[in-house]
Amino acid sequence: MQANRGSARYLAAVAAFIVVLCLSFGAAYAHKHVFARSGEPTVVKSAKQRGDKPVTFRVVSPPQHGTVRTQYQVRAVGRASQGASARVTEVVYQSKKGFVGEDSFKLLRVSGDPSDPYKNEEVTIAVTVQ
């Protein structure tokens, strides 16, 4: 009986440690804080296309004090002499003109690449508007 109680406490401690560890690492990717100027567009998140599979973001929960849109850019990558480029999806936040304070919204990363480790990841973006 004594061994079972000790084993149960040990397993409970290990489970608690795993939960804390998962929450600690998950929070690093699931939340982002940015600063923006009132009324000005600000890129708050970006993702490089993986191969020929596009990466997009869908707004799950919109901001209360502004708007969110996505835009696509082609950027040089690597050394300029190599001429390599990549398609990048950017998420742009713009507060209502004159708004100053805190705003937030949730995004869902949508990827056509089944091996994308961040596919279907929800991210909360917290914005401090100055």
What's the CATH number of domain 32-129, 1.10.10, 2.40.10, 2.60.40, 3.40.50? 2.60.40
Q: Which sequence spans correspond to the domains of the chain?
A: 32-129
Q: What is the reported pTM?
A: 0.70
**What's the pLDDT band for 20 if we cut at 50, 70, 90?**
very low
Q: What is the pLDDT of residue 28?
A: 36
Contact 107, 15 (CB under 8 A): no
Structure confidence by residue, pLDDT tens digits, 34-50: 999 999 999 999 888 77
Paired with 36 in beta bridges are 129
Tokens of 123: 């991210």
**What's the pLDDT band for 86 if we cut at 50, 70, 90?**
confident
Cα–Cα distance measured from residue 25 to residue 36, given in angstroms and rounded to the nearest whole number: 26
DSSP H helical ranges for the chain = 2-30
| Candidate ranges 1-5, 27-31, 63-67; pick with highest mean pLDDT | 63-67
**What's the pLDDT band for 70 if we cut at 50, 70, 90?**
very high
Cα–Cα distances in angstroms (integers) from residue 39 to residues 17, 22, 51, 99, 122, in the given order: 44, 37, 35, 7, 25
Asked whether residue 3 carries a pLDDT value surpassing 80, the answer given is no
